[in-house]
Chains A and B, each alone.
Chain A
Amino acid sequence: MKMEIIMAGFGGQGIMLMGEILAHSAMLEGREVSWIPSYGPEMRGGTANCMVVISDKRIPSPIISSPDVLVAMNKPSMEKFTPMVKSGGIVILNTALIDERPARDDIKVIEVDATGIADELGNMRVANMVALGVLIGETGIVKPETVIKSIDYFLPAHRKNMMEINEKALKRGIAEVQK
């Protein structure tokens, strides 16, 4: 088993953290993992992406050239990374910020209004957890309860009040693909 995932969006959408939480939970489940951020001269509102590799074996390259899964949280990310996705791969689109659809018929496109759902839950910033929920609901790569442990690990002590809404967002994401 090996899965290569690219997550991308605007700086400030919690792209890096979404990747870290996924990598961390896969590690807790005993897998080999790697996580690489883009680290250009970027800032809030600029583009950000990270690459996560999860495997049962030693990971040769942490750098991904054709991902199994793309999570695109905004339009520039969809345009940039969709051509790289493996044939038969999965693209998760945040429809709130993407008004077009990829022109490929050899991939599975999952549309989810991550930002809208997060807003409905009371905080737009948990859109990343909605998208992560979709990813794990669709692929089964890690268990939801492990992801919840990882969210708790990354939330600093003074932000533990955010635990509940993050958990809700994750579960809503899972429900989106399992309904």
Chain B
Amino acid sequence: MEKVLMKGNEALAEAAIRAGCKCFFGYPITPQSELPAYLAREMPKRGGVFLQAESEVAAINMVYGAAGAGVRVMTSSSSPGISLKQEGISYLCGAELPCVIVNIMRGGPGLGDIQPAQSDYFQATRGGGHGDYRTIVLAPSSVQELVDLVYDAFDLADMYRNPVLILGDGILGQMMEPVVFKERPARQLPPKDWATTGKMGRQKTNVINSLYLDPIKLEEHNLKLFKKYQEIEAKEARYEILNGDDAEYFVVAYGICARIAHAAVEMAREDGIKVGLIRPITLWPYPKKAFEEVLPKAKAFLTVELSLGQMVEDVKLSVEGRAPVYFYGRTGGMVPTAEEIFEEIKKMRGLS
């Protein structure tokens, strides 16, 4: 199959079209603008709709409309723009609408800067908007994985009638790597018999709604959502463990940070330190199983993030006090070198 050299943002856009995305609504922001630019060029040629909305808020509500009509729909932005979309995301979750939302994270808070960051982890994995809800969060660490996870994101969204977030960062969006767009067998997905597509002889009136004024009804609705989230937690958590076989220490990192941490792990290995890498691929549901797998032999964990410590809370919740959990992070768009992480690995070994 043909390999092409592509930027993360553009590969993501191409994968969305191939995954059957019919509508894209967005508003430009660095460092993800190549994604809407690609779709602006390609969507009209390939039977889709591209629309640059007047704002992020408008874009996410257009996503609500298209998803309600049962088509595959996507929006993308970067950190400040994703904050603006949170109200809409809460409504999408409440109304159980499938869609894909891409966040190519940059430094915050506020307008921050345009350099890579992972400081939206809390926002992505804890809901982000108001209400008792979850979004599935996928965290690719290479351009090829970005492509593969776009297909998965659309399938997961349709399977569970739930928004799926793809959480990348400025480097991943901007970098080029070879990718292959593999043909994938279509998955068996539930019919969208809930979509508002006109009755056309159907008896039932479909309504897309997140308003339940009767608290008894709303509690029922929340419990139904919660059951769905439990099923997702049981079935969809994903991770990769590298150099894990004989490892006594583990670095935990996701996205681009996992790539740098992998280089640090290889340095430490050359130095004779038995260290492995746990790379969560889903951030929600969090892959707790990865920790159960390594805990019998793991002496300590080091979480590395492009933030001052967000995923580290999930690492602690997974380890449950059975081993020390250390943290190292850079923030504000700064990126640690492999050497810096290697030093932290040495410290972890000295401390535990």
Q: Looking across the interface, which residue of chain B has its beta carbon closest to that of A62?
A: B175
Contact across chains for A39 and B338 when beta carbons are under 8 A apart? no
Q: With A33-B5, A39-B30, A40-B114 given, is the CB distance from A61 to B259 under 8 Å?
A: yes
Q: Does B262 belong to the interface (CB within 8 Å)?
A: yes
Contact across chains for B177 and A62 when beta carbons are under 8 A apart? yes
Contact across chains for A23 and B114 when beta carbons are under 8 A apart? no
Write out the residue numbers on chain B whose beta carbons fall within 8 Å of the beta carbon of A60: 259-260, 262-263, 265-266, 338
A residues 65-110 with Cβ under 8 Å of B? 65
Partner of B176 from A34, A39, A41, A63 at Cβ < 8 Å: A34
Contact across chains for B259 and A65 when beta carbons are under 8 A apart? no
A residues 1-36 with Cβ under 8 Å of B? 20, 23-24, 27, 32-36
Write out the residue numbers on chain B whose beta carbons fall within 8 Å of the beta carbon of A116: none
Give A37 to B114 CA distance when docked, in angstroms: 13
Q: Does B20 belong to the interface (CB within 8 Å)?
A: no
Give A60 to B268 CA distance when docked, in angstroms: 13
Write out the residue numbers on chain B whose beta carbons fall within 8 Å of the beta carbon of A36: 171, 174-176
Contact across chains for B339 and A65 when beta carbons are under 8 A apart? yes
Contact across chains for A39 and B170 when beta carbons are under 8 A apart? yes
B residues 1-32 with Cβ under 8 Å of A? 3, 5, 30-31
Contact across chains for A27 and B175 when beta carbons are under 8 A apart? no
Contact across chains for B335 and A34 when beta carbons are under 8 A apart? no
Write out the residue numbers on chain A whose beta carbons fall within 8 Å of the beta carbon of B178: 27, 32-33
Q: Looking across the interface, which residue of chain A has its beta carbon closest to that of B335?
A: A63
Q: Does B337 belong to the interface (CB within 8 Å)?
A: yes
Write out the residue numbers on chain A whose beta carbons fall within 8 Å of the beta carbon of B266: 60
Write out the residue numbers on chain B whose beta carbons fall within 8 Å of the beta carbon of A35: 5, 175-177
Write out the residue numbers on chain A whose beta carbons fall within 8 Å of the beta carbon of B170: 39
Give A101 to B262 CA distance when docked, in angstroms: 35
Q: Looking across the interface, which residue of chain A has its beta carbon closest to that of B173?
A: A39
Write out the residue numbers on chain A whose beta carbons fall within 8 Å of the beta carbon of B114: 39-41
Write out the residue numbers on chain A whose beta carbons fall within 8 Å of the beta carbon of B262: 60-61
Write out the residue numbers on chain A whose beta carbons fall within 8 Å of the beta carbon of B177: 33-35, 62
Write out the residue numbers on chain B whose beta carbons fall within 8 Å of the beta carbon of A59: 259
Max count, chain B CB within 10 A of own CB: residue among A27, A35, A59, A62: A62
Give A59 to B338 CA distance when docked, in angstroms: 13
Write out the residue numbers on chain A whose beta carbons fall within 8 Å of the beta carbon of B265: 60
Contact across chains for B174 and A23 when beta carbons are under 8 A apart? no
A60 CB → nearest B CB, Å: 4
B172 CB → nearest A CB, Å: 9
Give A60 to B339 CA distance when docked, in angstroms: 13
Write out the residue numbers on chain B whose beta carbons fall within 8 Å of the beta carbon of A41: 114
Q: With A23-B176, A35-B177, A39-B30 given, is the CB distance from A63 to B171 under 8 Å?
A: yes
Write out the residue numbers on chain A whose beta carbons fall within 8 Å of the beta carbon of B337: 63, 65
Write out the residue numbers on chain A whose beta carbons fall within 8 Å of the beta carbon of B3: 27
Give A40 to B31 CA distance when docked, in angstroms: 10
A residues 104-130 with Cβ under 8 Å of B? none
Write out the residue numbers on chain B whose beta carbons fall within 8 Å of the beta carbon of A39: 30-31, 114, 170, 174
Contact across chains for A34 and B175 when beta carbons are under 8 A apart? yes
Contact across chains for B176 and A65 when beta carbons are under 8 A apart? no
B residues 258-283 with Cβ under 8 Å of A? 259-260, 262-263, 265-266
Give A61 to B279 CA distance when docked, in angstroms: 14
Write out the residue numbers on chain A whose beta carbons fall within 8 Å of the beta carbon of B174: 36-37, 39
Contact across chains for B338 and A62 when beta carbons are under 8 A apart? no
Question: Chain B: residues with CB nearer than 8 A to chain A?
Answer: 3, 5, 30-31, 114-115, 170-171, 174-178, 256, 259-260, 262-263, 265-266, 335, 337-339
Q: Can you give 10 A-B contacts (C-beta < 8 A)?
A: A20-B5, A20-B176, A27-B178, A34-B175, A36-B171, A40-B114, A60-B259, A61-B260, A62-B256, A63-B260
15 additional contacts, CB 8 Å, given A23-B5, A65-B337?
A: A20-B176, A27-B178, A33-B5, A33-B178, A34-B176, A34-B177, A35-B177, A41-B114, A60-B259, A60-B262, A61-B262, A62-B175, A62-B177, A62-B256, A63-B260
